[in-house]
């Protein structure tokens, strides 16, 4: 199977080839290497790729793969094909999304208002932290999706801007 993985803000194309009981893992255009993920006595895993080998703890949930290795914790994401297609298209900055779950504290712009890049559009609070949502570019506010006091989840669209050609 071929998939794209995101690790530390970079994308990698990975292909796993099955050869009887073995897996061959190909990263980008590199030569495929024999790879084995085995469970240790302590319940951790050992990953072997070609000559390289290390102990890892791995948990998978949906598209996310969480790994502890080399004294650090990593999240890797399996990029779904729809998103993969979207990655090549420029833009997507019509929407300001919530960086974390929280509550709207104050709204600084009005629908239809012209704004400049970096202008504060909304103040939000999550737990003890107050943050402002800034305009990703200059333009016109199309829609404000939440009122003060309303709560939202991570990734929710908070403010939509009119498309750039308007």
Partner 1 sequence: MRKIKKVMIANRGEIACRILRTLDRMGIASVMVYHAVDADSPAVRAASETVEIDGSTPVAAYLDMGRIIAACQETDADAVHPGFGFLAENAVFATRLAHEGIKFIGPSPENIELMGNKIKARSFCIDNGFPLAPSVTEAGAGEQFAVQAGKIGVPLLIKAAAGGGGKGMQIVRDLDNLEAAIQLAKAAALRSFGDDVVYAERYEEKPRHIEVQVLADEFGNVVHLGERECSIQRRFQKIIEESPAPRLESDLRERICATAVEITRKAGYRNAGTVEFLLAPDGDFFFLEMNTRIQVEHPVTEMVTGIDLVEMQIRVAQGEYLPFNQDQVKTEGHAIELRLYAEDPANDFLPTTGPLLAYSLPVGGSVRVDDGFSEGMKVTSAFDPMLAKLITHGATRNEAIERARKAIADTLVLGITTNVDYLARIIAHPAFAAGQIHTGFIPQYGNDFDSPLLTKDQRDLLLAAAALSSREFTNPEFEAIEPYTSIGNWRN
Q: List residues near partner 1 by CB under 8 A.
A: 1-3, 5, 7-8, 12, 14-19, 23-25, 27, 32-33, 35-37, 45, 47, 49, 52-54, 56-61, 64-76, 78, 99-102, 105-106, 123, 125-131, 154
Residue 155 token pair: 């990734």
Complex with partner 1: residue 39 or 110, whichever CB lies closer? 39
From the CB of 64, what's the least distance to partner 1, in Å? Answer: 8
Report yes or no: 161 and 138 within 8 Å, Cβ to Cβ.
no
Complex with partner 1: residue 7 or 87, whichever CB lies closer? 7
Judged by DSSP in three states, 85 sits in helix
From start to end of 81-148, where are the E strands? 95-97, 102-107, 114-115, 120-126, 129-134, 139-144
Complex with partner 1: residue 24 or 162, whichever CB lies closer? 24
From the CB of 40, what's the least distance to partner 1, in Å? Answer: 13
From the CB of 118, what's the least distance to partner 1, in Å? Answer: 16
Calpha distance 69→91 (Å, rounded): 35
Which residues make Cβ contacts (< 8 Å) with residue 61, sequence separation at least 6? none
Helix (H) or strand (E) holding 87: helix 81-87
Determine how β-strand 120-126 pairs with β-strand 64-69.
Answer: unpaired
Complex with partner 1: residue 14 or 162, whichever CB lies closer? 14
From the CB of 150, what's the least distance to partner 1, in Å? Answer: 13
Report yes or no: 45 and 57 within 8 Å, Cβ to Cβ.
yes
From the CB of 157, what's the least distance to partner 1, in Å? Answer: 17
Complex with partner 1: residue 90 or 128, whichever CB lies closer? 128
């Amino acid at each position: 199977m071929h998939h794209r993985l995101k690790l530390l803000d970079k994308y990698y194309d990975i292909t796993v080839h099955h050869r009887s009981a073995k897996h061959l893992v190909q990263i980008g255009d590199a030569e495929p290497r024999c790879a084995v993920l085995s469970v240790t006595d302590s319940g951790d895993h050992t990953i072997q790729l070609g000559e390289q080998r290390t102990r890892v703890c791995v948990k998978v949930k949906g598209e996310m793969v969480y790994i502890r290795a080399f004294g650090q914790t990593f999240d890797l994401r399996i990029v779904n094909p729809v998103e993969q297609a979207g990655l090549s298209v420029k833009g997507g900055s019509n929407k300001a999304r919530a960086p974390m779950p929280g509550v709207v504290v104050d709204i600084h712009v009005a629908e239809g208002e012209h704004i400049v890049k970096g202008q504060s559009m909304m103040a939000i609070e999550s737990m003890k932290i107050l943050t402002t949502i800034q305009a990703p570019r200059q333009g016109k506010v199309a829609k404000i999706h939440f009122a003060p006091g309303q709560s939202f989840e991570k990734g929710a669209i908070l403010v939509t801007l009119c498309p750039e050609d308007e």
